[in-house]
Structure 1
Amino acid sequence: MPDLIKMYIRQTAIGFALSAVFVTLLLYFNIVNLWHLVTHTDVGLLAVFLLWLFNGIVFAGVQFGISIMLMKYDDEDDDDDDHRGMPVGLTPIRVEAHAQRRQNRQISRR
């Protein structure tokens, strides 16, 4: 299995684990009276599952995005000279631009 797929599965599992912790803390601290709402309705278990699922999708996506962005980009043809974005051998020169000045016209009010 490719390394990228392994990393995706690992980061998705971490995201869903974080979602489980998040939903557990929401219920434990009774945020916006969620514990009462879940325990006093017949579809409370479905609501908790959907809350975990949708937060898991979001957390997994964020977790994978962060892990991808933190990967080191290894460019094999990089010669490791630091030119700070300037092409080698080119030197910037100053060029003056001449433009005619416009005259401000007064708009007469009626």
Structure 2
Amino acid sequence: MPRLVRLYTASVATGVVLAMLFTGLLVWLDVAGLRRLVLGSTSGWLGAGLLVFFNAIVFGGVQFAIAVMRLADAPPPRGGQRRPTRAAAYPPRVIPATVAAPARRR
């Protein structure tokens, strides 16, 4: 699996865990009467699930953004083969192009 995909899935998993903790804390502390809404309704589980889902999107995105920004602090890769890159092996050439222009009006 590519490194960036592993980084993204780890960030999403962290976001889901944080969202579950955050939603559980909201329900436990009864913020804005949320506990009564979730536990007192027959479809309260749907609201709690959506709250977890949307918070997971936000927290996962934040975790991924932080991880990507921290990649800039990583040392550059070392070693490898010292072959010239494709751009250095084939230098650019200037090729003239002719374009037919319409006749000018006077």
| Counterpart position of 1:30 | 30
| Counterpart position of 1:88 | none
Identity of aligned residues (%): 37
CA RMSD of aligned residues (A): 1.4
TM superposition shift of 1:40: 1.3
Deviation string 1:51-88 (CA, Å, 9 cap, x unpaired) is 00000001000000011001126388xxxxxxxxxxxx
Radius of gyration: which is bigger? 1
Q: 2:49, 2:57 → 1: CA distance?
A: 12
Q: 1:66, 1:29 → 2: CA distance?
A: 28
Contiguous gaps of at least 5 residues in structure 2? 79-106
Letter aligned with residue 9 of structure 1: T
| Counterpart position of 2:88 | none
Runs of at least 4 residues of structure 1 off by over 3 A?
none
TM-score norm. by structure 1 comes to: 0.65
TM-score norm. by structure 2 comes to: 0.67
| Counterpart position of 1:16 | 16
SS in 1 for 2:48: helix
TM superposition shift of 1:37: 0.9
Contiguous gaps of at least 5 residues in structure 1? 77-110
TM superposition shift of 1:39: 1.2
Q: Where in structure 2 are the equivalents of 1:84-95 lying within 5 Å?
A: none
Aligned length: 76
Letter aligned with residue 55 of structure 2: N
Determine which structure has the larger helix proportion and give its number: 2
Say whether residues 1:44 and 2:67 are aligned partners. no
TM superposition shift of 1:43: 1.2
